[in-house]
Amino acid sequence: MKDEAVKDDAAKDRALLTVEDLWVSFPGKGFRAPRTEVLKGVSLEVRPGETLGMVGGSGSGKTTIGRAILGLAPVRSGSITFAGERIERAPAKQRRRLSKDLQVVFQDPYTSLNPSLAIGDTLSEPLLAQGIGRREARRRVGDLLERVHLPSDAAARLPREFSGGQRQRVAIARALAIGPKLIVCDEPVSALDLTTQRTVLDLLLEIQERTNVSYLFVSHDLAVVRFVSHRVAVLHRGEIVETGDAARVTADPQHPYTRSLLLSAPVADVAEQRARREAFEHERAAS
Amino acid sequence: MSETVEKAPAAPARRPGGALRRLLRNPLGLIPAVLLAAIVVAVLLAPVLSPQDPDTADLADSFGGAAAGHPLGFDSAGRDLLSRLLHGGRFTLGGAVIALLVALALGVPAGLLAGYRGGRFDAAASWTVDLVMALPAMVVLLASRAILGNTVWVLMVVLGVLVAPSFFRLVRGIVAGVRGELYVDAAKVSGLTDLRIVARHVLIVVRAPIIIQVALVAGLAIGLQAGLEFLGIGSGDTPTWGAMLNEAFQNMEQAPSMIVWPGLALGLTSASLVLLAGALRDALEDRGDRPAPARPRRRPRADTPAATAPADADGAERADLLSVRGLAVSYGTKEVVHGIDLDVRAGEIVGLVGESGSGKSQTAFSILGILPEGGRVSGGSVTVLGREIVGLPEREHRALRGDVVAYVPQEPMSNLDPSFTIGAQLVEPMRYKLGISKAEAKRRALDLLRQVEIPDPERTYGSYPHEISGGMAQRVLIAGAMSCDPKLLIADEPTTALDVMVQAEILGLLRRLQAERGLGVLLVTHNLGVVADLCDRVGVMHDGRIVESGPVERVLGEPAEPYTRRLLGAVLDDVPARAPWRPAQKETA
């Protein structure tokens, strides 16, 4: 454990993204209702080419971290540093500049693509916003589709003609369009079928290998997070309760919450699942 | 993960041009469109088409009938009716256009801004709009005529202001919804300015509703204007359809036929606009996307059982609780479930596992008799307690649901009515089904809530759905499913919407209830872990067929079919965790 901490300290200098003591709260519902604290002092860092997995239950605040980094959630206090720049309260202009390096893939491939825009138009949007010409943009859209293994005639078609997995590939292509340094992946495979999920995860890994992009990978599924992440942070009620290398956290969880989370996910093996179930019930009874 | 009927992959792209074609292919769209176009052209060409100046009067001709060159005859002052009708249309239709332009110019940008930005502007604009809507339109129009003078155009501008709120509200509502869409967030992250986001992503969404609203408001404006003129409040000298109606009405005794022409013009225009609005709605809003109900929902008696009964010739004896043989489900002519066999015995949990579009939910819905509109059982047989239920009249099917077959749905929250307490939603069905007193039903409901391990049953009983968590809501639905002591429970992805820890608890609860009551359970899921946890036997569905079935240990442990192997191969449980991060060899950053 101590070793890890030292390593982390050294890594901080090289980190691409550093979040320190981040607090986010939303106004309460109703007149003079107390604010809801969603994040209570979260700190983390992501290095170039690294995947940090964020795992937690619903309401743990894992999605909010990603949204705060992207400027879609209000930061109350704390700092977010990205590539040496403070961005926690970046004004619109700085945000637009940042969009070159900081991108997102959302959970739901059905609502994250505008249903009335052709795939090609959706993909060229970020390119045009960066001031790239139309002809050049069209050429790059072809490249992008190829990189996410979609047919090149996809550009002229509408999202409804694609399956969930294909749409998620389009969303990934959009995130890749201008060569970002960090992609926030917000539950990118949880709406997908099992077999599709695997191919999309493989694609994300392949892209990382090739471009050295970093991922902040948010998911409720520990098995998925373990598969794609170098390091895993476990979030519970707005706080990080445990963080460490993927193998360590998932094989030897220290925090009781991590242990319960791990044991509660059913596995597709009858005997092993029976053992897990008993361990989970035991853990529950103990707490 | 909702089950959707697979769409044809190469469906033709739907573009605005396609919408126009769809509109014109619909007779209810084509006829009013042609009529309106004819009226507009005639009115535009009024100076060419009309026999004479609309104000040329010759008292000698007053109330004269049709004559050469004057097909409609003359009015009380001896003015040519056709000329007045054509020229009057210019004011009537022109007035409506002005009212519309004013309403659009005020309502749409304000609605866009208020919906997209929200906050203070939204509050101020909404207050103003509420105020305008509270004003009685007729009174305002009368007052403005007194103040501003009585030209048609000014009145129409005022009318435009009065109907602007309908555009504002429409646009604001839609935009406020779109603002929360992920693709707008994605566009923001892509670095688009707000103006571009509105132009690219938002306008396109409000376009269709605005067009429809325009047709409706145009009809309204024409009607209102004619009404004013008819009451004699418009400008007396200008020929308008309303004024002509007024004049005809005053001379009803002498020349009753005079009322026909302006009446016809107004009626045809307004009716065409209303019909066109309806047809536009059908053409612009995605109607064609849904599977067309091939024919009115008739009992599928004709193409059902008996014929396919030999399906159980393959040896397996039919189970006494639930037995499905050769079940086929179709939407229109498209078959989505192709003849599946399935058995659930008392005290047994059978899993039906597959990916989205595999037909697993369709199978569950057919057994429950709750297939979505357009779907029907197109073959095979389903018996519950030995009784054939395919082709059963809805009333008997309903009696079966709850009494013998109970259902636990996927989305617990959307299956509870937000306006009633949990208690009321549990008590009502029990009183109806079991015919017991309210007090007895309440006692049973509390007992059920205890059985599904709800910590404080009394409090939950009095709560509204929004006051409880998703896991609690699923417990409540399970309690409801148990309330009439069913023999067979059909659970459609009962834990998919829940957190893993809550899922583990709900699975534990289902296992306990099943064991205590000797229930037969059909569990539909996409999660192989859930199958391993709960089921005795499992059927693997793919493309509307059961490709493999058997005891869970065998199917998950030694899968025989390639598809099952592929499914298990995608499970990440046994894949080693990713190795720790190493700096890239050649750091390009």
Whose tokens are 């079919």? That residue is B561
Residue of A nearest to B197 (CA): A125
Which of B571, B584, B589 is opposite residue A194, by nearest beta carbon? Answer: B571
Chain A closest-CA separation from residue B452 CA (Å): 16
| Residues in B touching A108 (Cβ below 8 Å) | 182
| pLDDT tens sequence across B148-162 | 877 778 888 888 999
Average pLDDT over residues A2-29: 72
Alpha-carbon torsion A163, A164, A170, A173, what sign? negative
- Interface touch B578/A102, C-beta < 8 Å: no
Average pLDDT over residues A258-265: 90
pLDDT of A166 reads: 87
How many other C-beta atoms can be found within 10 angstroms of the C-beta atom of residue B297? 13
Q: Among residues 209-228 of chain A, which lie with CB inside 8 Å of chain B? A: 212, 220-224, 226-228
| pLDDT tens sequence across A17-70 | 999 999 999 887 666 778 888 999 999 999 999 999 999 988 888 989 999 999
- Interface touch A117/B201, C-beta < 8 Å: yes
Question: Looking at the complex, does the CB of residue A278 fall below 8 Å from at least one CB of chain B?
Answer: no
Higher model confidence: residue B293 or residue B53? B53
C-alpha to C-alpha distance for B9 and A161, rounded to whole angstroms: 6
Is the confidence at residue A137, as pLDDT, over 50? yes
- Interface touch B186/A174, C-beta < 8 Å: yes
Contact B54, B82 (CB under 8 A): no
Contact B256, B107 (CB under 8 A): no
C-alpha distance from residue B127 to each of B94, B112, B122, B132, B149 (Å): 31, 16, 8, 9, 29
Which of A50, A113, A220 is opposite residue B499, by nearest beta carbon? Answer: A220
Chain B closest-CA separation from residue A21 CA (Å): 23
C-alpha to C-alpha distance for B498 and A58, rounded to whole angstroms: 8
Task: Count residue pairs from A and B with Cβ separation < 8 A.
Answer: 211
Chain A contact probe: residue of B1, B175, B190 with most A CBs at under 10 A: B190
At B134, which amino acid appears? Answer: A
Give one DSSP letter per residue of A194-229, joined into a string: HHHHHHHHHHHHHHHHHH--EEEEEES-HHHHHHH-
Displacement of CA B188 from its chain's centroid (Å):
28
| Tokens read off for B149 | 């003078």
Residue of B nearest to A52 (CA): B581
| Residues in B touching A98 (Cβ below 8 Å) | 191
| Tokens read off for B572 | 């990440």
Q: Which residues contact B325 (CB under 8 A, 6 or more apart)?
A: B308, B309, B311, B312, B318, B341, B380, B381, B382
Question: Looking at the complex, does the CB of residue A167 fall below 8 Å from at least one CB of chain B?
Answer: no
Residue of A nearest to B1 (CA): A191
Please count the CA atoms within 13 angstroms of the CA of B381 that sit on its side-chain side: 18
pLDDT of A31 reads: 67
C-alpha to C-alpha distance for B364 and B491, rounded to whole angstroms: 8
Contact B352, B327 (CB under 8 A): no
* Helix and strand totals (H; E) in chain A: 11, 10
Question: Looking at the complex, does the CB of residue A171 fall below 8 Å from at least one CB of chain B?
Answer: yes
- Interface touch B201/A47, C-beta < 8 Å: no
How many other C-beta atoms can be found within 10 angstroms of the C-beta atom of residue B171? 28
Helix (H) or strand (E) holding B430: helix B422-434
- Interface touch B581/A50, C-beta < 8 Å: yes
- Interface touch A246/B577, C-beta < 8 Å: yes
C-alpha to C-alpha distance for B406 and B401, rounded to whole angstroms: 6
Alpha-carbon torsion B135, B140, B141, B144, what sign? negative
Please count the CA atoms within 13 angstroms of the CA of B105 that sit on its side-chain side: 9
Q: Among residues 44-83 of chain A, which lie with CB inside 8 Å of chain B? A: 47-51, 57-58, 70-72
C-alpha to C-alpha distance for A97 and B199, rounded to whole angstroms: 21
Q: Are strands A51-56 and A231-236 parallel, antiparallel or unpaired?
A: parallel
Higher model confidence: residue B306 or residue B368? B368
| Residues in B touching A157 (Cβ below 8 Å) | 13
Alpha-carbon torsion B510, B516, B518, B519, what sign? negative
| Residues in B touching A109 (Cβ below 8 Å) | none
pLDDT of B286 reads: 53
- DSSP state at residue A56: E
- The residue count of chain B comes to 589
Whose tokens are 């047994």? That residue is B348
| Residues in B touching A158 (Cβ below 8 Å) | 13-14
| pLDDT tens sequence across B68-103 | 777 777 777 778 888 888 888 888 888 889 999 999
Calculate what percentage of chain A has a pLDDT beyond 70.
Answer: 94
Is the confidence at residue B583, as pLDDT, over 60? yes
Which of B9, B501, B589 is opposite residue A264, by nearest beta carbon? Answer: B501
| Residues in B touching A26 (Cβ below 8 Å) | none
Contact B503, B495 (CB under 8 A): yes
Average pLDDT over residues A158-179: 87
C-alpha to C-alpha distance for B272 and B283, rounded to whole angstroms: 16
pLDDT of B316 reads: 59
| Residues in B touching A195 (Cβ below 8 Å) | 355, 566-567, 570
Cβ-based burial of B123 (10 A; exposed 0-12, middle 13-18, buried ≥19): exposed
Cβ-based burial of B48 (10 A; exposed 0-12, middle 13-18, buried ≥19): exposed
- Interface touch A270/B553, C-beta < 8 Å: yes
Q: Which residues contact B433 (CB under 8 A, 6 or more apart)?
A: B402, B403, B483, B484
Contact B527, B492 (CB under 8 A): no
Question: Looking at the complex, does the CB of residue A230 fall below 8 Å from at least one CB of chain B?
Answer: yes
- Interface touch A247/B577, C-beta < 8 Å: yes
Residue of B nearest to A176 (CA): B190
Displacement of CA B110 from its chain's centroid (Å):
27
Question: Looking at the complex, does the CB of residue A233 fall below 8 Å from at least one CB of chain B?
Answer: no
Which of A51, A113, A273 is opposite residue B529, by nearest beta carbon? Answer: A273
Which of A193, A270, A271 is opposite residue B355, by nearest beta carbon? Answer: A193
Is the confidence at residue B435, as pLDDT, over 70? yes
Is the confidence at residue A3, as pLDDT, over 80? no
| Residues in B touching A125 (Cβ below 8 Å) | 187, 190, 192, 200
pLDDT of B165 reads: 93
C-alpha to C-alpha distance for B186 and B188, rounded to whole angstroms: 5
- Which one, of B567, B502, B559, B511, lies nearest residue A265 by Cα? B502
C-alpha to C-alpha distance for B18 and B208, rounded to whole angstroms: 13
Calculate what percentage of chain B has a pLDDT beyond 70.
Answer: 90
pLDDT of B459 reads: 92
Helix (H) or strand (E) holding B248: helix B241-250
Give one DSSP letter per residue of B149-202, joined into a string: -S-HHHHHHHHHHHHHHHHHHHHHHHHHHHHTSHHHHHHHHTT--HHHHIIIII
- DSSP state at residue B487: S
Which of helix, strand or coil describes residue B367? helix
C-alpha to C-alpha distance for A42 and A132, rounded to whole angstroms: 37
Whose tokens are 């646009």? That residue is B171
| Tokens read off for B170 | 């429409």
Displacement of CA B65 from its chain's centroid (Å):
53
Most confident option among A83-87, B23-27, B47-51, B64-68:
A83-87
Which of helix, strand or coil describes residue B32? helix
| Residues in B touching A230 (Cβ below 8 Å) | 578-581
Whose tokens are 């007053």? That residue is B62
Question: Looking at the complex, does the CB of residue A104 fall below 8 Å from at least one CB of chain B?
Answer: yes
Which pTM value belongs to this model? 0.76
- Interface touch A251/B204, C-beta < 8 Å: no
- The residue count of chain A comes to 287
Which of B9, B356, B532 is opposite residue A270, by nearest beta carbon? Answer: B532
Angle between helices B394-403 and B422-434 (to 10 degrees): 120
> SS3 breakdown of chain A: % helix, strand, coil, rounded to 5?
45, 25, 30
Calculate what percentage of chain B has a pLDDT beyond 90.
Answer: 28
| pLDDT tens sequence across B520-549 | 999 999 999 999 999 999 999 999 999 999
| Residues in A touching B569 (Cβ below 8 Å) | 198
Higher model confidence: residue B50 or residue A83? A83
How many other C-beta atoms can be found within 10 angstroms of the C-beta atom of residue B121? 13
C-alpha to C-alpha distance for B335 and B353, rounded to whole angstroms: 19
C-alpha to C-alpha distance for B241 and B264, rounded to whole angstroms: 10
Chain A contact probe: residue of B174, B578, B586, B587 with most A CBs at under 10 A: B578
Chain A contact probe: residue of B182, B284, B506 with most A CBs at under 10 A: B182
| Residues in A touching B530 (Cβ below 8 Å) | 266
C-alpha to C-alpha distance for B306 and B328, rounded to whole angstroms: 14
At B370, which amino acid appears? Answer: I
Residue of B nearest to A246 (CA): B577
Q: What angle do CA B177, B116, B161 make, to 5 degrees?
A: 100
- Interface touch A129/B580, C-beta < 8 Å: no
Lowest mean per-residue pLDDT among A47-61, B20-34, B278-292, B476-490: B278-292
Is the confidence at residue A146, as pLDDT, over 80? yes
- Which one, of A243, A247, A197, A190, lies nearest residue A63 by Cα? A190
- Interface touch B533/A158, C-beta < 8 Å: no
| pLDDT tens sequence across B231-267 | 777 666 678 888 888 888 888 888 778 888 888 888 9
pLDDT of B305 reads: 41
Chain B closest-CA separation from residue A196 CA (Å): 8
Average pLDDT over residues A236-262: 92
- Interface touch A270/B10, C-beta < 8 Å: no
pLDDT band at residue B285 using 50, 70 and 90 as cut-offs: low
Chain A contact probe: residue of B175, B179, B183, B537 with most A CBs at under 10 A: B183
